[in-house]
Amino acid sequence: MENSLLAVFAHPDDEAFGVGGTLARLAAEGARVALVCATKGEVGEIADPDLATPETLDQVREAELRCAAENLGVDELIFLGYRDSGMAGTAENDDPRAFINAPAEEVVSQLVNTIRRLRPEVVVTFEPNGGYGHPDHIAIHHHTVSAFHAAGNPDLYPEQGTAWQPARLFFTAIPRSFFHEMRDRLEALGVDTSDFDRFEESGAGWPDDKIHVTLDVTNSIEAKWAALHCHRTQFGPDNPFRRLPEEEVKQLFSREHFALAWPEPEPCLEMDDLMGDLKTDDC
Ligand SMILES: [Zn+2]
């Protein structure tokens, strides 16, 4: 299998936390890595008011993502040009430019074009709940799944290039056990974990038995760490992870988890990496 991966996310920084180590590891191994970001995170929180204002946040976060992509070894970064829709139930949801209000056809057509042009073997996006239910994460999940299947069908979007069917689709996911482990470790160190409440309330976390690949990204943790620090407006001094010893955080961030979505996984499937063999063990 030719090593080529396309990651599709919603906001600057989505790529760093969940899959930054994987992107960096694959890039270091010589794979072609491309990243699509649907918005510029225009309505994210601003960790330090000296860094940006709501008016400049789009430009600042674009620059932050360019910095992260460079550190991770991403070959091509593509912005779809939509606006951050904000958390569910906020006024930003109603903005006509908001990503959640974009017609599905329009988004899928752009993604089909990107898949056909770049011809990746592997596509990665969020799981159906987007990690913690952010409306843009859920939207990019649906559009990417549609585009993954449409790209290989020459009858669909014929104006967007020659059909290309990527071999595999993966969802990045936080296993429930990992989520609890993270919370326990933070609590043991006396860090306030109330931020986690809204994640848990939204049903965050993915069933452990549906994780097919856990990648150890220790060898690329420095690149992931550098990418995270590019996102200065998000990963500020108040971030709970900044209150932990650096080595502890790096250890937590050294595992990344994926569920195979296509081809449909056999029961008990386990894989060593995203491009490796699909093997089924006894379970
Ligand atoms: Zn996001």
SS percent in the chain: helix, strand, coil, step 5: 40, 20, 40
Distance 136 CA to ligand 1 centre (A): 7
* Ligand 1 centroid to residue 221 C-alpha, Å: 20
Taking phi first (over 0 means left), then psi (-120 to 50 degrees means alpha), and beta for anything else, what does residue 86 get? left
- Is residue 202 very low, low, confident or very high in pLDDT (cuts 50, 70, 90)? low
| Structure confidence at residue 188 (pLDDT) | 86
Separation of CA 231 and ligand 1 centre (Å): 12
pLDDT in tens, 55-99: 999 999 999 999 999 999 999 999 999 999 999 999 999 999 999
Q: Are 271 and 279 in contact (CB under 8 A)?
A: yes
- 117 CA distance to ligand 1 middle (Å): 25
Average pLDDT over residues 132-157: 97
Question: What's the pLDDT at 195?
Answer: 73
CA of 87 to the centre of ligand 1 (A): 10
Which helix (H) or strand (E) covers residue 60, if one does?
helix 57-72
Q: What is the mean pLDDT of residues 171-195?
A: 85
pLDDT in tens, 47-63: 899 999 999 999 999 99
Answer yes or no: is pLDDT of 197 > 80. no
Q: Is the pLDDT of residue 266 over 90?
A: no
Q: Which stretch of DSSP H or E encloses residue 27?
A: helix 14-28
pLDDT of residue 229: 94
- For residue 132, report the distance from its CA to the centre of ligand 1, in Å: 9
Q: Which of 35-39, 228-232, 273-277 has the lowest mean pLDDT?
A: 273-277
List, in order, residues 6 or more apart from 235 with CB less than 8 Å away: 13, 47, 228, 229, 241, 242
pTM above 0.85, yes or no: yes
Q: What are the pLDDT digits (tens) for 105-128?
A: 999 999 999 999 999 999 999 999
Q: What number is the average pLDDT over the span 144-169?
A: 98
Distance of CA 279 from the midpoint of ligand 1 (Å): 32
Q: Quick one: tokens of 99?
A: 């990503």
